[in-house]
Each structure stands twice: as C-alpha cells, then as structure tokens.
A and B are shown apart, each in its own frame.
Chain A
Amino acid sequence: MSDTLTSRRPHLVSGPATGLLLAALAAGLVAALVVGISIGSVNLPLGQVWGVVWAHLSGRGAQADPLLSQVVWEIRAPRALLAALAGAGLSVAGVALQSLVRNPLADPYVLGVSSAASLGAVLVPALGSTALAGALGVTGAAFAAAMLSALLVYVLAQRAGRLLDSWLVLTGVAVGYLCTAATTFVQLQLNPTELQGMMFWLMGSVAGASWTDLTVPALLIAGCLLWLLLQGRALNALLAGEEAAVAIGVPVATLRIGLLVAGSLLTATVVSVVGGIGFIGLMIPHAIRFVVGADHRRLLPVSLLTGALFLVLVDLAARIADRPNELPVGIFTTGLGVPFFLWLLRRRSTGGTHAT
C-alpha cells in the first residue's frame, strides 16, 4: 500500500463512510436475524415461518399453528435475538475492559467473571435444595458469582485508592483460576445427569433461549452503551495513559470505576444467560480498531453491531453445519474469527505503516 494512501486515510474506514458502515452492519444484522429465524434443524416452508412471526407481531399469536408457533416463535426467534444481544454485549464489554486495563489481551473474562459464573452455576445443583440456590436459580447464581468476583478483583487490585491496570489483570487471572479449580472440584461431586446441564455454562451456548432471557441484557446493553458513548472523548484521552488523561481534565478514578462496573455488569449478564463464549469480546474490538480506528465514538457502535451480527451468523452455522446435530458455538466463533483476525493483523502490518 502506498504511503500517500496511508497519509490521507489513517483508518480503512473514516469520516462519513463510518455512517455507511453502521447502516450496512445494521442491515446485515436484520438480514442475519431473518435468515436465523427462517432456517433451523428442521425444514419449514418460509411462508409459514413468517406467517407465524407476523401473527405474533400483530398480536394474533394465539391463532397461529401451535407446533409451528412453538418452533418459530418460542425457539428460533428468541435464540437469534439472544445471539445478537450476547454478541453485542460481549463486544461492548470487551471495549470497556480493554480501556480499563489497557492490555491488548484483555477480554470480558479478564476479571475472572466467566469462571466465577461457571462456579455459581455448578454450585446450584451441588447445594441442591438450600434456600439460597432455590431463590437465585442457576442464572441468578451465575450472575451473583460473577459480580462477586468482579467486586473481589476490584477490592484486591486497589492500592492507596488507585486501581492499577497490571494488578487488575493479575488479580483477575488469579481469581479466575481459583474459580476454575473450585468448579472442577464441585463438578466431581455431581452425578452425570446434573453435570450435563452444566456443560452449557462451561462451553457457552445460545440454545434454549426464551423471551424472558432477553429483557435484562437488552436494557443493560442499551444503558451501558449510552454511558460509554458519552465518555467517548474521555476514553480516547485515557488511551494515552492515566497521567496524560488526568492532565487533559478527565476524572480518571471515577471513569475507571464506571468502566469496571459497566464491563462486569455486561459480562455477568451475558455469561449468566449464554455461558462463556470466548473470542468475541477479545477479537471484535481489536478487529474494529483496525478498520475504523480507536476513537471510541466510532469503535463502540461499530463493535456492538459487528459482535451482534457475528454471533447470529455463527449460531446459524453451528445449527446447520451438521444437521440435525448442533455443534458448540465456540468452535465457530474461534474457527471463523481467528483466520479473519489474523488476516486483518497481517494486512495492517503491511499497510504502508512503519513503526520506529
């Protein structure tokens, strides 16, 4: 790539083209959702599928064919939407936590949230009928454990009232390992039937989604995205380091606590509903930085839509690659995502820019 091109356009997509990219991603997401609802492990005529969807959307759901309604409206539609929400949530959480710890390896699970959620989930059948487990349910227990781990990491990584990035990462990793060990121990105490339901948390899946799973993640993602977008300029300043950001007038301590809260809330919510789906929260934000640059006012919305689109497509692939069996979604997030990411990385390093 020539130097003149690089010098005129620092990013692959910039300026008004970002709006076009966002519109294209939104259209792509809608199309992917349509395909995701139309196709599944059983073949149904398209006309009937959308007849059911239309019936439900127009408030006449009760009149639709009950069996079709069950498949299309109760299984496929919430599943596709949950995939979109989880992809969006993990990507936004990835951006927030990468800003917080300023480490390229940071992902939504860097604070041990995923391992803690797994631990919370396996503890419910292990503790059996105790009142606590009963009141929380598996999802609630996973969420509670995830938030507890984030809180623990936050408390441990403070020194003289300041959050240190390196400590956050190391403490998060340590707490994560601890939770993994505890999870393994609890798993050994469970019988095989109890264990089967738990594999879902350990592998990550959007199967078995219901409409009630969608509300909380949707509200949280909307709230966190809004807050993060408002902090866009401050987040850009934070990229230059804590000292520089303070000098520019960013209330760094408050901002970082906000990032920690937003990032762990988002991750805990997503993990408690779909388990630990790897790769998305780490790679989507990085990939998008290569495309639109690191300005958070572009990075956040583009990452959100890309993450949503990616997970809907991946879930679709997991459902139809080996019909009627379903493959774990993690195989595809990684199998499809890593080659693409490596291509972007290679492309950037040969893109006429030279580091000194």
Chain B
Amino acid sequence: MRLDLAGVSAHIDARPIVNDVTLTAGPGEFVALVGPNGSGKSTLLRTVYRSLRPSGGVVRLDGQDLWRMGPRQAARHRAVLPQHNQVADQLSVAEVVATGRHSHKRLLDRDSAADRAVVVTALERVGMEWAADRLLTTLSGGERQRVLLARALAQQAPLLVLDEPTNHLDVGSQLLLLDLIRSLGLTLLAALHDLDQAAAYADQVVVLREGHVAGHGPPLEVLTPAFIEDVFGVRAHVGPHPLTGRPHIAVASRAPARTSQPQPTHCTEHL
C-alpha cells in the first residue's frame, strides 16, 4: 500500500494548522513524522485517520482518494493506533481486539470463527495472546498499547498510522513496540517525538515546523546537528552508538551545561 499526501492543508476552528504538506510512504516503508509540539503532526495524522477533513489537498491510498471512500472501506485500507484511547471498562482484551473487525462485518453478521481466528492471530503477533480473557484495565501501559496495536492489526489493513505510540511507555516497552511495528511488513506512518528512535527505526523522516514540511528524506541526511538545533532549539550530536555502533542522536539543552554533580534535591522520590 502506497500512501500519498499531496498538498494537504488542515484547519481547526478556521485556524490553519497544517499547510501544503506533501509526503509519500511506499509499500512497506516506515515514515516517521517528527517536529516540535504544536507543529501539526497530530493534525496531519487526523486527515489520514479521517477524523479531520483536509481543507486542501488530497490523501491517496494506492491512488484512491481516502476521503471519497466510505468509513468501512477506508478502515479496511488503513488502521490506526491513536494517541488518545479511552480504556474501555469491562471489555476483555479479546473483545477490544474484536472491535477492529467492524469494517469487515455487515450489519446483521455475527462474529464468526474466522473473526475469532483473526483476533487470536493479532494477539499472537503482539505477544498478548495470554491476556485474551483479561480485562484491559488489569494490564500495564505497555501491554495495553500492544493490545490496541492488535486491534489495529485485526483490521487487516495494509497501512498503519500511529500517533506517538511510545508515549507514556517505559524504555523497554517503547523499543519492544517499535521493533514490533517494524516487523509487521506494513506501510507505516508514525508521529514520533524521540529523534533517535525516528533515526533508528524509520526509512524516511518528515520534519514539520509550524505546519510546514521543514525537511524530509532518509533520517541521517535530514537530522543533522545544525538542522535539529534550528527546528527543535536543542544542541545535537550524531555519533556512533556505544552499544550498537549505528549512528545515534544525542541532544542537550542550550542552557549552560551543568558540570557539577547533580543535586539530589530534584529527585521526585523525595517529595
């Protein structure tokens, strides 16, 4: 599945948030969307979720206009792991994942054995099959996020859109989730806020600043120290990762560096 955004603009309450964004994700490609808070990443993604109609431009999936499809047809083409999920009280993990089958079912259809098999497979792919009959509320944040990924997989769509999927997760869960989505073989468009993770996992990065594309291309060509300092206002260093040897982006504040020992008074445990 190839995703094309051609000259996409979007407004919220008549305020322009995204301006003339063009980007492409080829089949199986991982495109990371990065940018400071308020740069329009989530708003741009909403035009691909279909929760905000673009005020200009076109979103195309394999050449078809996403916004001219019906809601169910669109959901069979692109799945989403949204940033804001409410934890459905009193739904089991399997029931949550089964809601992903909505677009494949007609009004009077019952859940079939095939649907249940899709649910089990999706849970297996994210390593959560052991939790199928647990309530979602009993899982940890990282586990819940994998369950919601399984719900997206149950849509069986070739394109997966993710909005800051690693938010609020511990580092281990973050890398586990990124490894997982990278291994799915789907076309991926993800807003990420960790530049090093974007560089490590994505094939292409698109950098947004104030709703415009400030740069796009392979991560290490785009994310140079000078560019990062310009867009994000932080000092950056690109060098070999001490553990893996691959290029690694380290960032530091532009405030004068503290050279003395850190003071323990800042530890939140002391509160």
Q: Which residues of A contact B (CB under 8 A)?
A: 6-11, 102, 160, 230, 233-234, 236-237, 239-244, 246-251, 289-290, 293-295, 353-356
- Are B79 and A353 closer than 8 Å at their CB atoms? no
Q: Once the chains are docked, how many angstroms separate the CA of A182 from the CA of B235?
A: 63
Write out the residue numbers on chain A whose beta carbons fall within 8 Å of the beta carbon of B151.
240, 244, 248
Complex partner residue of A290 from B46, B90, B101, CB under 8 angstroms: B90
When C-beta atoms are compared, the residue in chain B nearest to A299 turns out to be B90
- Are A247 and B79 closer than 8 Å at their CB atoms? yes
Q: Once the chains are docked, how many angstroms separate the CA of A145 from the CA of B11?
A: 38
With A230-B107, A244-B80 already in contact, 18 other A-B pairs whose C-beta atoms are closer than 8 Å: A6-B134, A8-B133, A102-B86, A230-B108, A233-B101, A233-B105, A239-B86, A240-B148, A240-B151, A241-B85, A243-B85, A244-B86, A246-B71, A247-B50, A248-B155, A249-B74, A249-B103, A356-B138
- Are B82 and A244 closer than 8 Å at their CB atoms? yes
Write out the residue numbers on chain B whose beta carbons fall within 8 Å of the beta carbon of A160.
13
Write out the residue numbers on chain B whose beta carbons fall within 8 Å of the beta carbon of A11.
90, 92
Known: A243-B51, A249-B71. A294 touches B90 (CB 8 A): yes
Does B99 make an interface contact (CB < 8 A)?
Answer: yes
Does B246 make an interface contact (CB < 8 A)?
Answer: no
- 0 or 1 for each of B100-140: is its CB under 8 Å from A? (1 = yes): 11110101100000000000000000000001011101111
Q: Once the chains are docked, how many angstroms separate the CA of A355 from the CA of B71?
A: 34
- Interface of chain B residues 48 through 77 with chain A (CB within 8 A): 49-51, 71-76
Q: Once the chains are docked, how many angstroms separate the CA of A225 from the CA of B198?
A: 48
Does B89 make an interface contact (CB < 8 A)?
Answer: yes
- Are A355 and B103 closer than 8 Å at their CB atoms? no
Known: A243-B51, A295-B95. A237 touches B102 (CB 8 A): yes
Write out the residue numbers on chain B whose beta carbons fall within 8 Å of the beta carbon of A102.
86
Write out the residue numbers on chain B whose beta carbons fall within 8 Å of the beta carbon of A289.
89-90
- Are B86 and A241 closer than 8 Å at their CB atoms? yes
Does B84 make an interface contact (CB < 8 A)?
Answer: yes
- Are B82 and A249 closer than 8 Å at their CB atoms? no
When C-beta atoms are compared, the residue in chain A nearest to B104 turns out to be A249
When C-beta atoms are compared, the residue in chain A nearest to B49 turns out to be A247
B191 shortest CB reach to chain A, Å = 13
Which of B80, B83, B91 lies at the interface centre, i.e. has the most chain A CB atoms within 10 A of its CB?
Answer: B91
- Are B102 and A234 closer than 8 Å at their CB atoms? yes
A167 shortest CB reach to chain B, Å = 14
- Are B134 and A240 closer than 8 Å at their CB atoms? no
Write out the residue numbers on chain B whose beta carbons fall within 8 Å of the beta carbon of A290.
90
**CB-defined A-B contacts under 8 Å, sample of 23:** A7-B133, A10-B134, A10-B135, A11-B92, A230-B107, A230-B108, A236-B88, A237-B102, A239-B86, A240-B85, A240-B99, A243-B85, A244-B151, A246-B51, A246-B71, A247-B161, A248-B99, A248-B100, A248-B151, A249-B75, A249-B155, A293-B95, A295-B95
Does B96 make an interface contact (CB < 8 A)?
Answer: yes
Write out the residue numbers on chain B whose beta carbons fall within 8 Å of the beta carbon of A249.
71-76, 102-103, 155
Write out the residue numbers on chain B whose beta carbons fall within 8 Å of the beta carbon of A356.
138-141
Write out the residue numbers on chain A whose beta carbons fall within 8 Å of the beta carbon of B96.
240
Write out the residue numbers on chain A whose beta carbons fall within 8 Å of the beta carbon of B99.
233, 236-237, 239-240, 248
Q: Once the chains are docked, how many angstroms separate the CA of A8 from the CA of B131?
A: 9
Write out the residue numbers on chain B whose beta carbons fall within 8 Å of the beta carbon of A251.
71
- Are B50 and A353 closer than 8 Å at their CB atoms? no
Which of A230, A240, A250 lies at the interface centre, i.e. has the most chain B CB atoms within 10 A of its CB?
Answer: A240
Write out the residue numbers on chain A whose beta carbons fall within 8 Å of the beta carbon of B49.
243, 246-247
- Are B75 and A248 closer than 8 Å at their CB atoms? yes
- Are B138 and A246 closer than 8 Å at their CB atoms? no
B165 shortest CB reach to chain A, Å = 13
Q: Once the chains are docked, how many angstroms separate the CA of A7 from the CA of B99?
A: 20
Complex partner residue of B88 from A6, A7, A8, A240, CB under 8 angstroms: A240
- Are A293 and B82 closer than 8 Å at their CB atoms? no
Write out the residue numbers on chain B whose beta carbons fall within 8 Å of the beta carbon of A236.
88, 91, 95, 98-99
Write out the residue numbers on chain A whose beta carbons fall within 8 Å of the beta carbon of B93.
10
Write out the residue numbers on chain B whose beta carbons fall within 8 Å of the beta carbon of A293.
90-92, 95
- Are B75 and A247 closer than 8 Å at their CB atoms? yes
- Are A294 and B102 closer than 8 Å at their CB atoms? no
A137 shortest CB reach to chain B, Å = 38
When C-beta atoms are compared, the residue in chain B nearest to A291 turns out to be B90
- 0 or 1 for each of B164-192: is its CB under 8 Å from A? (1 = yes): 00000000000000000000000000000
B212 shortest CB reach to chain A, Å = 24
A291 shortest CB reach to chain B, Å = 9
- Are B92 and A10 closer than 8 Å at their CB atoms? yes
- Are B89 and A6 closer than 8 Å at their CB atoms? no
Write out the residue numbers on chain B whose beta carbons fall within 8 Å of the beta carbon of A295.
91, 95
Write out the residue numbers on chain B whose beta carbons fall within 8 Å of the beta carbon of A353.
135, 137-138
- Are B102 and A247 closer than 8 Å at their CB atoms? no
When C-beta atoms are compared, the residue in chain A nearest to B13 turns out to be A160
Q: Once the chains are docked, how many angstroms separate the CA of A205 from the CA of B62?
A: 61
- Interface of chain B residues 138 through 158 with chain A (CB within 8 A): 138-141, 148, 151-152, 155
Q: Once the chains are docked, how many angstroms separate the CA of A233 from the CA of B96?
A: 10
When C-beta atoms are compared, the residue in chain A nearest to B134 turns out to be A7
B2 shortest CB reach to chain A, Å = 20
Q: Once the chains are docked, how many angstroms separate the CA of A354 from the CA of B95?
A: 19
Write out the residue numbers on chain A whose beta carbons fall within 8 Å of the beta carbon of B131.
7
When C-beta atoms are compared, the residue in chain B nearest to A234 turns out to be B102
Q: Once the chains are docked, how many angstroms separate the CA of A242 from the CA of B71?
A: 13
Complex partner residue of B89 from A7, A233, A250, A294, CB under 8 angstroms: A294
Q: Once the chains are docked, how many angstroms separate the CA of A353 from the CA of B138?
A: 6
Q: Once the chains are docked, how many angstroms separate the CA of A295 from the CA of B74?
A: 24
